[in-house]
A and B are shown apart, each in its own frame.
Chain A
Amino acid sequence: MLPPGFAQRMRGLVGTDGVVDRPESLLVYECDGYTLERAAPEAVVLPRTPAEVAQVIRALWKDGVPFVPRGAGTGLSGGTLPVEAPVMVCTSRLQKIESIDIANRRVVAQAGVVNLWVSRAVKDAGLHFAPDPSSQNACTIGGNVAENSGGPHTLKYGVTTNHVLGLELVLPTGEVVQLGGPVEDRPGYDLTGLVVGSEGTLGLVTRATLRLTRVPESYRTFLAVFDSVADASEAVSGIIASGIIPAALEMMDGLILRAVEDAFHAGLPVDAGAVLLIELDGPEAGLPSQSEEVRELCKAQGAVEVRTARDDAERTLLWKARKRAFGAVGRLAPNYCTQDGVVPRTQVPEILRRISATAEKHSLRIGNVFHAGDGNIHPIILFDERNAGEVERVLAAGTEILEACVALGGSVTGEHGIGVEKIAQMPLLFSPEDLHAMATLRSVFDPQRRANPHKLLPDSKVCVEARAPRRQAAM
């Protein structure tokens, strides 16, 4: 329950249209991209400036009210689900790119700026913001920072943390701290690095100083077609072993291929077992020989065909098919749910084998489209919630797959975060001492657990509503 006069006070800070407190309008905040669990907040506050964020959070602190930060709500682990935090503070009005310094390759962006806007703003200077999650035309910089987001190009360019130099953080008390900044090497602990990936549990990020990267001079994009995922996996290992670091190395299996082709008509081979989308980039001089090598390596691993994108349009089409693959999967079944796990790259064939065994065991269809170069798998489990017992089988299969990832030396999340979804799996990865250390870290920033409580770290709190899977998006 919110204290009396709460909404009124908030309106005084953020304007009359900056507070949502009617139940009908709150309903739409009941979940983000992770839809298996749902709970609506009691109020949503939409500050217009970083300074207003600080005022809002200070007021929440005084009232003793915990809050949940929310960006675009594309998160896939339920990070924005309100769990004993009645107020959501949404950054969607913090849309300003505050400064662009081309010569020093820096941008300062407010938290609600959409990832792609940054790259768009500096495109003419031949620069971009390298992290490119598949959700990049919607997800916010604040969300990227909170989740330490990756994308298809992280194999070569790293994830968000490698491109964030400074943050403005509003602590749960409302105090504003500047961490890092455009100049590197500030002495002291790497607080910026600790806040990146903290899923909103250390405070709310209002601004970020980002490093820009030069857009590669040239690209070569290939589509290598294989009879089986096993052959394709071997090709991945072959390419890596050859010393080439592709900018991206993505795999789609047959099931996904057919759905994608249905949706986008990108000319994909629908009868293939798997394809690899391989991209090389860099200075033009190095590309011809690397391309030749990649083609040979694929052929040597049994590629039936290796196509090269002839021009930008074809490259764009291939990427569109890849980046929007999940949407296309919506056409295969009335419901689907995606997992995000990681295995050491060499274990990709093994995890794929176990995934298909899991599928068989639970009589489910599971498709795979993922960042093969990083070993970051995204099995998509297809189902129909109207079939009795299917939801339970889906959940069981998901858990089995994650456990297999851990058993193979991997992790339960490569980019979507723990949120509420994977809290139960944290002890598989970390000892009680490790988890205690994380809790200690948290208490430095937020001793009272006011910022996004009951996320990321397991605690006694069980989740809100019974799990009731619906359709779910994925990466």
Chain B
Amino acid sequence: MSQSLRTSPFEEAVGAEYVAEATAGDAIDGVAPRWVVEPGSVKEVVEVLKVAHQRDLTVIGRGLGRHLTLGNPPRRADVIVSLGRMNRVLAYEPADMTVRVQAGCSLVALGSALHENDQWLPLDPPRAPRTTIGGVLATNLAGPLRASQGTARDLLIGIRTVGPDGTVVSGGGKVVKNVAGYDLPKAHVGALGTLGIIVDATFKVRPRPQHEGALEISCSDGAYAAGLALELRDTCEPFWLQIANDGAPPKPWRVIVGAGGRHEEVVAAVESYRATAEARGALSRTVPNAAEVRRDLADASAQLAHVVLKAATLATRVGAWLDVLETAAVRVGATPRFHADLVCGVIRMSIDSGSAENLGELVAELRPRFEDEGGSLIVERATSTQKEGLSEVGGVWGDPGPGLSLMRGLKEAFDPAGRLAPGRYVGGL
């Protein structure tokens, strides 16, 4: 059967108005897809994937498209399945503190539904307003709140996905505690859509803190900031705790620690942080609009630059690594800015002037040192040319560790023909 350029194979599946030929803006890391389809229901997603299956087309899921910079350039991208129309909250039971939501629903839309009952889904990836549930799950991106609330992995209790041949698979359930069967939802968290297209998900939600407060402490350098942050962590469990070095030169280092809860709790926590800082002779100031500052910090790294490196290490090593990263970045002529979450051992370095070569050089130098310590260094954001320059040094991900052959097995088992976002994930999966 010949296919004219005018009618796409997906029209029957989703209706003509929801199939578009891809434009330059739809390219993923320079790889241009042919179609963008927007199914409006699980059934339509199934139909789309069946068609793709029959025609051996590769499929990439997309939410609002804000996080497609994560991952290696795909080997092929025929169809983008945009979940933007599947944006409804399916079931919200405040008293059960659970919510079931379609993958295309944005975090903000969900947030406002939950807000009515003083609840929230405490996930704050960068660009939360333009991030969908599917996106936050596929990338497992998190922000400052991760220090106390965990990531999507910890909040997800059920998931529904569509496999490459159109099979709908559910895992987990809709109750907060459930150990029936394998924990399939975990497979999809952070998997970049390489095992299935996420169509809806069920989360446990939490009460929103009545108050937030924060204290900011200026520091002389990164190592000092990390040392102080460690002490703050041990003072009183922080709601969030960030080390930042992101202003205009001379880029002062700061530690910002957040507290959340009842008014008196917040006051007491902030006071105890202040006491810890003062004991070290550090200057501190109360941050007036803590929640806003927290949101800004979540966005900061992504907003600052086109290149973001994310390093993972242990809390006690954060200080030393900040030093190493800074020196290395300066050496290749970049001006680095940092945001680090000490509790989780995550450092984000944003660099503005990264060329393809110096990014490769930087990664080549630093990555093995992190990996030797059991940590990792990934390139969270970069231009497609820069990513190409990384192919020699392990791509954006680096070495996924000794689990790679099992990961490959998993991919082959769930996507035998390799048609879901091929090449974007670790080890070329």
Contacts and interface: CB of A to CB of B under 8 A. Distances in A.
The answer to whether A and B touch in the complex, with CB atoms under 8 Å apart, is: yes
Interface string B402-424: 11101101100110000000000
A290 B403 CA distance: 45
A441 B187 contact: yes
Contacts of A172: none
B170 interface: yes
Contacts of B262: 286, 289-290
A285 interface: yes
A434 B95 contact: no
Nearest to B268: A285
Pick the 6 closest A-B CB pairs, nearest first. Answer: A193-B186, A285-B268, A188-B400, A286-B265, A243-B207, A185-B312
Contacts of B315: 103-105
B295 interface: no
Interface stretch (B8-16, B171-179, B240-248, B296-304): B171-179
A107 to B, nearest CB: 13
B315 to A, nearest CB: 5
A389 interface: no
Nearest to B399: A187
Contacts of A346: 93, 95-96
Interface in B372-388: 373-376, 378
Contacts of A466: none
Interface of A: 101, 103-106, 147-148, 150, 154, 158-159, 161-162, 177-179, 181-191, 193-194, 196-198, 214, 217, 237, 240-241, 243-245, 282-286, 289-290, 342-346, 371, 374-376, 409-418, 422, 425-426, 429-431, 433-435, 437-438, 440-445, 456-457
Interface of B: 93-98, 118-119, 150, 153-154, 163, 167-171, 173-184, 186-187, 189-191, 195, 206-208, 210, 230, 236-237, 261-262, 264-265, 267-269, 310, 312-316, 344-346, 373-376, 378, 397-398, 400-404, 406-407, 409-410, 413-414, 425-427
Contacts of B414: 437, 440
Which residue, B261, B313, B406, has most C-beta atoms of chain A within 10 A? B406
B209 to A, nearest CB: 9
A438 B207 contact: no
B41 to A, nearest CB: 17
6 contacts: A103-B230, A189-B190, A189-B406, A243-B208, A434-B169, A456-B181
Given A342-B176, A345-B96, 10 more contacts: A105-B315, A183-B373, A194-B187, A283-B237, A344-B174, A418-B179, A418-B180, A434-B181, A437-B414, A441-B184
B398 to A, nearest CB: 6
Given A283-B269, A415-B179, A184 B312 contact: yes
A184 B345 contact: yes
Given A183-B374, A190-B153, A442 B182 contact: yes
Contact of A422 (B180, B206, B410): B180
Contacts of A159: 177, 179
Contacts of B191: 189
A445 B236 CA distance: 42
A168 to B, nearest CB: 10
Contacts, number: 246
Given A194-B187, A418-B181, A344 B96 contact: yes
A407 B312 CA distance: 44
Contact of B175 (A101, A158, A214, A414): A414
B173 A410 contact: yes
A51 B180 CA distance: 31
Contacts of A194: 182-184, 186-187
B207 A444 contact: no
A408 to B, nearest CB: 9
A49 B171 CA distance: 35
B261 A178 contact: no
Given A182-B374, A240-B95, A410-B175, A193 B189 contact: yes
Contacts of A189: 187, 190-191, 195, 403, 406-407, 410, 426
B179 A413 contact: yes
A374 B400 contact: no
Nearest to A147: B179
Nearest to A408: B175
Given A184-B346, A241-B95, A285 B183 contact: no
A358 B175 CA distance: 23
B425 to A, nearest CB: 8
